[in-house]
Amino acid sequence: MKLDGKVVLITGGSRGIGRAVALAFASEGARVAVVSRNKDRCAEVATQISKSGGSALGIQADVASEADVARMVEQVKAKWQRVDILVNVAAVNLPYRAVTDLSLEEWNWIIGVNLTGTFLCCRAVLPLMIEQRSGKIINFSSLGGRVGAAGRTPYRSSKAAIINFTECLAAEVKEFNIDVNTICPGAVATDMLREITLGKMPAHAMPPEDVAAVAVFLASDESRAITGTAIDVLGPGNPLFGKATAFPR
């Protein structure tokens, strides 16, 4: 098993990509802390892992809350005494919204969860990883972090910032044997995508399990030569195949 005995903390782990990552990591022998704002959904994923013979912990937390993030890490530390891998999947988005129609509250909500949440979670686990002199951090950006699109300003701005944040952090912590990378998925068949496109799921959307497989690789020892890198996982929606980079609205 590629992740046997590793302690993994996954935000946004109750549905979509995060859920697929949690299940994939557990299947590779990891002990998984599943974090979500939805208590019942993260408990359901943790129970599914446990019933399959794995070890899991469900934690209700809002990654945009400094206090919640601190409590989340303390719970993982209390159960397993360490954090080997952090996967920042938690994110929020909106349906098509022009900048002139975007409220400050909506802007702050998206930046707060997507970007500030990633920062808070990284900052909270780094003391443990530095003490261990090892660690893997996987942040989630998006194809939207590479290219802009009308009506997607707050989400794509947050995702572009995550790519640069990852590069900066990777440079800071390499001396401690901590690797930090970003995954940039294209269209993925998730509830979030259905919500922001008002049910108009792109035909080229890929299953979240395809993205989870890349996360397993980046979390494993096989990726030891990779840090500070953003990896595109675009599936059949790759613009090279002529697919549009903007989602339907």
Which residues are the active-site residues? 155
| Residue 181 near residue 226, CB atoms below 8 Å | yes
Which tokens belong to 151? 């009506």
**Cβ atoms within 10 Å of 46's Cβ, excluding its own:** 24
Q: How far apart are CA 160 and CA 157, in angstroms?
A: 5
Calculate the dihedral angle through the C-alpha atoms of 16, 22, 23, 27, rounding to the nearest 10 degrees: 150
**Of 73, 1, 3, 7, nearest in space to 218 by CA:** 3
State the residue for tokens 């951090």.
137
What do you get for the CA distance between the two ends of the chain, in Å?
42
Q: How far apart are CA 79 and CA 86, in angstroms?
A: 16
For helices 66-80 and 117-132, give the axis angle rounded to 10 degrees.
Answer: 30
Q: What angle do CA 209, 36, 29 make, to 5 degrees?
A: 50
DSSP secondary structure of 4-29 = TT-EEEEETTTSHHHHHHHHHHHHTT
